[in-house]
Amino acid sequence: MPVDNDNFQVKTPREALSLLSQKMFNKYGKEALLEIEDVWYKLGCAVGKKMKKKLPDTNLITVANSFVDGGHKRGAKVDVLELTENKFHLRGYHCAIGLNGKGKKLCWACMGIDRGLFETATENDLEMKIIKTLSDNDEYCEFVIKRLIKKPGD
């Protein structure tokens, strides 16, 4: 699926990475997804590391609230559907990196940024599930992040 260069405005480094990711996916297909995800994940880890220094603790509630507050400061409309010590369920209505209609596989790879951010800032292994996504032409994005609870001896 071709990237619409005329309508994608690059104003931030994150948007530039998105455009590069779209172009690489367009050119190389699914073979590029692991590399795309790895770069986004590393960026998320860097952001999570900075975030963690500013927070009073590393629990999921604190990190999720900081994440949502950051989105609100950028003008994002989001709804927190559930927030506990072990689960963060969010719905968003705008893709900040322009993936509308670009496909769920590319969305998953680019969401590496959020997985990296949350894993680093919470110091926990997490599971992320994308329920709906604008990249798949859904009416909104919805995802769940769950903290993986380790059993004794793990």
Domain boundaries, the chain: 29-147
C-alpha closest to that of 45 among 133, 104, 118? 118
Q: Tokens 């073979």 sit at which residue?
A: 31
Given this model, what pLDDT does residue 149 score? Answer: 77
3 state SS for the chain: CCCCCCCCCCCCHHHHHHHHHHHHHHHHHHHHHHHHHHHHHHHHHHHHHHHHHHCCCCCHHHHHHHHHHHHHHCCCCEEEEEECCCEEEEEECCCCCCCCCCCHHHHHHHCHHHHHHHHHHHCCCEEEEEEECHHHCCCCEEEEEEECCCCCCC
pLDDT, tens digit, 9 for 90 and up, residues 33-61: 999 999 999 999 999 999 999 999 999 99
- Topology of domain 29-147 in CATH is Muramoyl-pentapeptide Carboxypeptidase; domain 2 (3.30.1380)
Give the pLDDT mean for 84-105. Answer: 95
Confidence of residue 67 (pLDDT cuts 50, 70, 90): very high
Could you tell me the two tokens for 34? 């692991």
Average pLDDT, the chain: 92
